[in-house]
Amino acid sequence: MMYKRQVQYYETDKMGIVHHSNYIRWFEEARIDYMRQNGIDYNVIEKQEHLMMPVVAVDCKYKTGAQYGDIVAINTDITLFNGVKLIFSYTVLSEDDNVLATGTSTHCFVDMDFKPVRIKKDNVNLYNKLCSLLKE
């Protein structure tokens, strides 16, 4: 599932390339798009299911700096899901398919008071959808 977006001027820093922190934000964009493409609307999760999926860990390896005006594509997969912990893996690609960066984000499931939620029991629909997306 590819998510494409253009590099913005305000995302660069004085090195002339995209500031490394922005890739973490791109992961979020790609993750939300990936879920939506797969029938999971994060807005609905928060507003109707009263569930949040905070990030508990993130990592990124940078190969080549993206530049202002570049179109980057981000490939997202779910590489771990056990009902409690969910890991997304990302590959950021240039237009000519060079890998610019790779990374992961790890999430848990909490209610609006940040208390852990066992979605296998309490949100069977979401649980089943995420199970079906887990890459084998």
Within 106-135, the residues that bind a copy of itself by CB under 8 A are 114
Contacts 24+ apart (CB under 8 A), 79-83: 79/104, 79/134, 79/135, 80/134, 81/130, 81/131, 81/133, 81/134, 83/118, 83/119, 83/120, 83/127
24 counts as binding a copy of itself under rule CB under 8 A: yes
For this structure, is 33 an active site residue?
no
Number of amino acids touching a copy of itself (CB under 8 A): 35
Closest to a copy of itself by CB, 42 or 127:
42
Residues in the chain: 136
22 counts as binding a copy of itself under rule CB under 8 A: yes
15 counts as binding a copy of itself under rule CB under 8 A: yes
Residue 49 identity (one-letter amino acid):
E
What CA–CA distance (Å, rounded) separates 44 from 75? 23
Specify whether the backbone of 91 is left (phi greater than 0), alpha (psi in -120 to 50) or beta.
beta
Q: Which of 1, 38, 49, 68 binds a copy of itself (CB under 8 A)?
A: 68
Residues with a known catalytic role: 13
Binding site for a copy of itself (CB under 8 A): 8-10, 12-17, 19-22, 24-25, 28-29, 32, 41-43, 52, 54-62, 65, 68-69, 114
